[in-house]
């Protein structure tokens, strides 16, 4: 599954150099992840479960700048699942030409609030993630 979320660059996204500030891209990819989860999970009850999804690593490569008024698209999909961790690829492109602005790999873990530690993914979620990865290959 590939989720596509559009964001229009606003004035408050800009820095002194009049292009999108690097910290804003973290917010953009986070918005992309939440939109992905809205589509991936059928209901919001996954937020009520014992487990949560803390981000443990983000690797981000800035390829080109975005400016006021640009229409960006955050493309989000799973790329790898381990026993307790999962990695997403997120790419921000500038529309309509699909010029790559940012590429990021985001890793997070399945974390038990009760146990206060990372736990293996529940089987139903693991299967759904594996199907999502396979659908893009």
Question: Is 44 a known active-site residue?
Answer: no
| Catalytic-labelled residue, pool 15, 38, 50, 99 | 15
**3 bridge partner residues:** 76
- Locus of tokens 């917010």: 27
Q: Which residue, 75, 110, 60, 105, is CA-closest to 87?
A: 105
Residue 51 has a CB neighbour count (10 Å cut-off) of 18
Pair of tokens at residue 12:
């408050």
- Locus of tokens 């974390």: 111
Q: Which residues are catalytic?
A: 15
């Amino acid at each position: 599954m590939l989720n596509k979320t559009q964001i229009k660059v606003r004035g408050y996204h800009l820095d002194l150099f009049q292009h999108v500030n690097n910290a804003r891209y973290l917010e953009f990819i986070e918005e992309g992840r939440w939109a992905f989860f809205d589509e991936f999970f059928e209901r919001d009850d996954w937020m009520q479960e014992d487990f949560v999804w803390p981000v443990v690593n983000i690797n981000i490569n800035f390829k080109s700048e975005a400016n006021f008024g640009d229409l960006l698209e955050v493309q989000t999909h799973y790329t790898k699942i381990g026993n307790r961790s999962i990695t997403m690829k997120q790419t921000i492109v500038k529309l309509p030409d699909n010029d790559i602005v940012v590429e990021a790999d985001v890793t997070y873990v399945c974390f038990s609030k009760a146990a206060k530690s990372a736990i293996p993914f529940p089987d139903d979620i693991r299967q759904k993630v594996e199907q999502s990865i396979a659908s893009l290959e």
